[in-house]
Amino acid sequence: MNSSKQGGIIIENNSSTTVEKIVSLAKRRGFVFQSSEIYGGLNGCWDYGPLGVELLKNIKEEWWKAMTYRDDVEGLDASILMHPRVWEASGHVENFSDPMIDCKKCKSRYRLDVLGDSFSEKKQIKAIESLKNKLNDKEDLHKKIDDIYANPGDENPFNLVLENDQLGVLLLEELNCPQCGNKNTFTEARKFNLMFKTFIGPVEDSGAVVYLRPETAQGIFVNFLNVQSASRLKLPFGIAQVGKAFRNEINTKNFLFRTREFEQMEMQYFVNPKEDTKWYNYWKEMRLEWFKSLGMTPSKLRYHDHPVDKLAHYAKDATDIEYEFPFGWGEIEGIHNRTDFDLGRHEEYSGKSLKYYDETVKEKYIPYIIETSAGASRSFMAFLIDAYYEEEVKGESRVVLKFNPRLAPIKAAIFPLVNKDGLPEIARKIEADLRKSLKVFYDDKGAVGRRYRRQDEAGTPYCITVDNQTLEDQTVTVRERDTMEQERVGIDQLAGNLLGKLHY
Ligand code: ATP
């Protein structure tokens, strides 16, 4: 637990237990609910409540402004269902799969490539030792294990052994199912395609199969020339899209981190192949800055550059922007140099030219693509966790969400100090006035201190209180969420004052 003191406030940003606290706060305050909760819930799916939908909308809006309010990026909203050939061309039908195993006893299902993470380090070492004993004189296999452990890159070497064709099956025999505890009960690994299948039209046969898109990017690739010619764009230019994506993940976990339905914010930037590195570096920097500009703690953000031998076959460069979640570092956005792979494949599969005519060099070529691919829902979780603070103020504790005001679901709350003497009428008038431009909240229930605490938990940056002095001089108090400092502002100045502070 990290504690610090600022102006008499003891601040504790508790990074060891916040996921549980966040899930409970999210439900209590209406950020996120379990999907279909009254039926026992649907795994890997979540519903965004009144505060959550505002926060998510604000994140997407900030992204949209940052990415498309510029002269070289246009927006798109492609449909979720696409021609099935799209997913053949993209490689998803063939390759978008995870290796899956089942426990024959309790039927629990696991992803083989991350199974090791369910065991303590001690258990992993013990299992590797048993495996080596079992292999006794097979020196080549001993060497293989040693080589993997000597050079695991940034993977867990235990998982790499599990994924190895020769060693994986033998290591599985040494393991107990993390759920029921039985030993040697795993099936062989098989490929599990993560795309959700459905049927278009009334006949459910193989000719009618379509997929729920597992990423928004393909909608951009296939519309590349449509957008380019409609908007008369010249390279380099980008196409941005925000939308739902679906992946039938084998194991969902960590709240919104890995879900089966989620939202992505993707931008594909089309460049002359000779300029790919320049633009890759440019977007890499821009995207990290975006998270910082919205108040995410810089020390909890980092790049994870993919080593060359771990790159996808089509990628020339790739990095993840990672956030330090309470359960460890996790990707929130990927930046990739996808070369000419995607447009080349769509050209091949559709038979339509997707080449760009470059007037400057009088040449036709397939542009390279620099992709920035962020999860809106994963970013939502990172912003929520990053904003969460527990503080002790004059012996009392408060939970406060220190959102950047641009992301805060409610921008200001208005309270009449008491429900008499004409104060509610003035407060209602202020509310109606501010509501024209801001999401505001009116609260007249309970002691004013409790009303402040409720807004702290919702992350509301400003609370406005109408009191007896208002009757005399037409001023109200404006209390700032983080410092809890109060200033008096004239009612006629209020809207301008708040809009200025919120940077609108
Ligand atoms: P991971 O390795 O975590 O599965 P990925 O490398 O497959 O992620 P991409 O295909 O690059 O992810 O997707 C881009 C972004 O979409 C990710 O950075 C993440 O923010 C988001 N994302 C991907 N899968 C999920 C999911 N199952 N639930 C929530 N967000 C997701």
For the stretch 101-127, pLDDT in tens is: 999 999 999 999 999 999 999 999 999
> How many residues are present in the chain?
504
- Residue in 264, 296, 301, 371 to alter for ligand 1 test, most ligand atoms within 8 A of Cβ: 264
Determine which residue's CA is closest to atom 27 belonging to ligand 1: 258
Tell me the pLDDT band of 155, cut-offs 50, 70 and 90. confident
CB 55 within 8 A of CB 384: yes
Which of 13-27, 269-283, 368-382 comes out lowest in average pLDDT? 13-27
User: Is the distance from the beta carbon of residue 218 to the nearest atom of ligand 1 less than 6 Å?
Assistant: no
User: Is the distance from the beta carbon of residue 378 to the nearest atom of ligand 1 less than 6 Å?
Assistant: yes
The Cα 275–Cα 288 span in angstroms is: 21
Q: In the chain, what is the straight-line distance between the N-terminal and C-terminal CA atoms, in Å? A: 35
What tokens does 349 get? 């599969």
Q: What is the pLDDT of residue 18?
A: 75
Q: For 275-284, what is each residue's pLDDT tens digit?
A: 999 999 999 9
* Amino acid present at 151: N
Which residue do the tokens 């002790």 mark?
392
Task: Annotate 449-478 with DSSP letters as a single string.
Answer: HHHHHHHHHHT-SEEEEE-HHHHHHSEEEE
DSSP 485: -
The Cα 65–Cα 83 span in angstroms is: 30
User: Is the distance from the beta carbon of residue 174 to the nearest atom of ligand 1 less than 6 Å?
Assistant: no
Residue 377 Cα to ligand 1 midpoint, Å, equals: 10
Name the strand (E) or helix (H) holding 365.
strand 363-365
Q: Which atom of ligand 1 is nearest to the CA of 258?
A: 28
Query: What SS3 class is residue 18?
Result: helix
CB 280 within 8 A of CB 229: no
Averaged pLDDT of the chain: 93
Residue 331 Cα to ligand 1 midpoint, Å, equals: 7
Q: What is the mean pLDDT of residues 169-198?
A: 94
Other C-beta atoms within 10 Å of 215: how many? Answer: 18
- Give start and end residues of each alpha helix (H) in 190-310: 217-222, 224-230, 276-293
Residue 312 Cα to ligand 1 midpoint, Å, equals: 15
* Amino acid present at 304: H
Q: What is the pLDDT of residue 14?
A: 45
Q: Which atom of ligand 1 is nearest to the CA of 266?
A: 14
Q: What is the pLDDT of residue 13?
A: 53
Cis amide leading into 416 (omega within 30) = no
Closest CA to 127 of 157, 151, 152: 157
User: Is the distance from the beta carbon of residue 243 to the nearest atom of ligand 1 less than 6 Å?
Assistant: no
pLDDT beyond 70 at 412? yes
Task: Assign 3-class secondary structure to 103-138.
Answer: ECCCCCEEEHHHHHHHCCHHHHHHHHHHHHHHHCCC
Closest CA to 147 of 136, 160, 163, 135: 160
Q: Which atom of ligand 1 is nearest to the CA of 336?
A: 11
- Residue in 192, 193, 216, 262 to alter for ligand 1 test, most ligand atoms within 8 A of Cβ: 262
The Cα 401–Cα 18 span in angstroms is: 12
DSSP 69: S
The Cα 242–Cα 247 span in angstroms is: 16
Name the strand (E) or helix (H) holding 424.
helix 423-435
Tell me the pLDDT band of 504, cut-offs 50, 70 and 90. low
Q: Tell me the sheet residues that pair with 191.
A: 99
Q: What is the pLDDT of residue 386?
A: 96
What tokens does 291 get? 């998270």
The Cα 14–Cα 227 span in angstroms is: 47
User: Is the distance from the beta carbon of residue 249 to the nearest atom of ligand 1 less than 6 Å?
Assistant: yes
Residue 257 Cα to ligand 1 midpoint, Å, equals: 8
Q: What is the mean pLDDT of residues 390-418?
A: 94
Q: For 235-256, what is each residue's pLDDT tens digit?
A: 999 999 999 999 999 888 899 9
User: Is the distance from the beta carbon of residue 377 to the nearest atom of ligand 1 less than 6 Å?
Assistant: yes
Q: For 387-398, what is each residue's pLDDT tens digit?
A: 999 999 888 889
Q: What is the pLDDT of residue 318?
A: 97
Tell me the pLDDT band of 488, cut-offs 50, 70 and 90. very high
Q: What is the pLDDT of residue 502?
A: 87
pLDDT beyond 90 at 312? no
pLDDT beyond 70 at 7? no
The Cα 80–Cα 86 span in angstroms is: 12
Q: What is the pLDDT of residue 135?
A: 87
Tell me the pLDDT band of 1, cut-offs 50, 70 and 90. very low
Question: For the whole model, what pTM was predicted?
Answer: 0.90
User: Is the distance from the beta carbon of residue 334 to the nearest atom of ligand 1 less than 6 Å?
Assistant: yes
* Amino acid present at 269: Y
Long-range pairs for 110-115: beta carbons < 8 A, 24 or more residues apart = 110/178, 110/186, 110/250, 110/251, 111/250, 111/251, 112/162, 112/163, 112/168, 112/189, 113/159, 113/162, 113/163, 114/159, 114/251, 115/159, 115/162, 115/175, 115/178
The Cα 116–Cα 95 span in angstroms is: 23
Other C-beta atoms within 10 Å of 159: how many? Answer: 20
Determine which residue's CA is closest to atom 4 belonging to ligand 1: 258
Query: What SS3 class is residue 373?
Result: strand
Long-range pairs for 446-453: beta carbons < 8 A, 24 or more residues apart = 448/415, 448/417, 451/413, 451/415, 452/479, 452/484, 453/398, 453/399
Q: For 433-487, what is each residue's pLDDT tens digit?
A: 999 999 999 999 999 999 999 999 999 999 999 999 999 999 999 999 999 999 9
For a pLDDT cut of 90, what percent of the chain falls above it? Answer: 85
Closest CA to 19 of 212, 359, 337, 256: 256
For a pLDDT cut of 70, what percent of the chain falls above it? Answer: 96
Other C-beta atoms within 10 Å of 494: how many? Answer: 20
Q: What is the mean pLDDT of residues 411-417?
A: 98
The Cα 255–Cα 252 span in angstroms is: 8
User: Is the distance from the beta carbon of residue 323 to the nearest atom of ligand 1 less than 6 Å?
Assistant: no
The Cα 234–Cα 249 span in angstroms is: 38
Q: What is the pLDDT of residue 6?
A: 55
User: Is the distance from the beta carbon of residue 275 to the nearest atom of ligand 1 less than 6 Å?
Assistant: no
User: Is the distance from the beta carbon of residue 333 to the nearest atom of ligand 1 less than 6 Å?
Assistant: yes
